[in-house]
Amino acid sequence: SNNTDFLLSIENLSVSFDGFKAVNDLNLYVDENEIHVIIGPNGAGKTTVLDLICGRTKATDGSIKFHNKELTSMKEHQIVRQGVGRKFQNPSIYEDLTVLENLEISFPRGRNVFGALTFKRDGQVIDRIQEIAEMVFLNTVLDKQAALLSHGQKQWLEIGMLLIQDPELMMLDEPVAGMSVSERQQTAKLLNEITKGRSVLVVEHDMKFVEDIAHRVTVLHQGKILSEGSMAKVQADPAVIDVYLGH
């Protein structure tokens, strides 16, 4: 197939830290409306791949194309503007503000006809915030101070803050770490909901959760792809079993 059909095309991507290749000649593709999960043992290079895509880490070699636009030469804020959003493991929410205020300040500020930055709290903005608050299960706690939310709710709030910006590709680093079973189930539902019209690239350790959400799985090992395909396929791959269970 033609690689320009993918939303995200990573080709021959490498990064070295003091001569150590954390990502080694990687090819990875993300389709539209796909939940693509990267798994692999600690130190495999999973987080580094997300760092490279969002521009936090600069590639030593290779290409990252989003909608056929090269990202490797762009700065982090430019990459965000292309429609690539990233959630880190620790939520970067404003603890002193309410849930509603956190969502409001995440709303992209447009420019009016005079070129000035605008932040209109109009009906459309309110509707969108309401819709997203419902999606992330926080519509009943809009006036609550973010600091008082449960761990899971804080994770959802940050996903909501990303959704407000409407990224086409959303990257999540261990979104269900520390969540209860029911919170994990709700998060799976949430991810299925948000891939209508966008793609999600997830780094995850919780295999039950990966089974629930992944359309496609890439197994990384020592900066390279060990296996790729459906969760059922990679779980049955002897190379994967070998790496996870040891010798």
- What is the C-alpha to C-alpha distance for residues 105 and 83, in angstroms, rounded to an integer? 18
| Neighbour tally for 118: CB within 10 Å | 11
Q: Give the H/E segment covering residue 128.
A: helix 123-135
Q: Tokens in use for 95? A: 């603890």
* Closer by beta carbon to ligand ADP, 85 or else 223: 223
- What is the C-alpha to C-alpha distance for residues 104 and 129, in angstroms, rounded to an integer? 7
Rounded to the nearest whole angstrom, what is the least distance from the CB of residue 87 to ligand ADP in the complex?
15
* Closer by beta carbon to ligand ADP, 116 or else 245: 245
CB 49 within 8 A of CB 204: no
Q: Which of 26, 35, 36, 48 binds ligand ADP (CB under 6 A)?
A: 48
Which residue type, as a one-letter code, is found at position 111? R
Under rule CB under 6 A, how many of the chain's residues touch ligand ADP? 10
Chain positions 122 to 141 lying near ligand ADP, rule: CB under 6 A, are none
196: exposed, middle or buried (Cβ count in 10 Å: 0-12, 13-18, 19+) = exposed
Q: What are phi and psi of 231, to 5 degrees?
A: -60, -40
Rounded to the nearest whole angstrom, what is the least distance from the CB of residue 44 to ligand ADP in the complex?
4
* Closer by beta carbon to ligand ADP, 167 or else 223: 223
Rounded to the nearest whole angstrom, what is the least distance from the CB of residue 118 to ligand ADP in the complex?
38
Q: Are strands 35-39 and 110-111 parallel, antiparallel or unpaired?
A: unpaired
* Residue 19 interacts with ligand ADP (CB under 6 A): yes or no: no
- What is the C-alpha to C-alpha distance for residues 159 and 167, in angstroms, rounded to an integer? 11
* Closer by beta carbon to ligand ADP, 106 or else 204: 204
What character string, x for contact with ligand ADP (CB under 6 A) and - otherwise, covers 28-47? ------------x-xxxxxx
Distance of alpha carbon 35 from the chain centroid: 10
Q: Is 99 left (phi over 0), alpha (psi -120 to 50) or beta?
A: alpha
Rounded to the nearest whole angstrom, what is the least distance from the CB of residue 47 to ligand ADP in the complex?
3
* Closer by beta carbon to ligand ADP, 23 or else 141: 23
* Residue 22 interacts with ligand ADP (CB under 6 A): yes or no: yes
* Closer by beta carbon to ligand ADP, 59 or else 132: 59
Rounded to the nearest whole angstrom, what is the least distance from the CB of residue 53 to ligand ADP in the complex?
12
Note the residues at the interface with ligand ADP (CB under 6 A).
17, 22, 40, 42-48
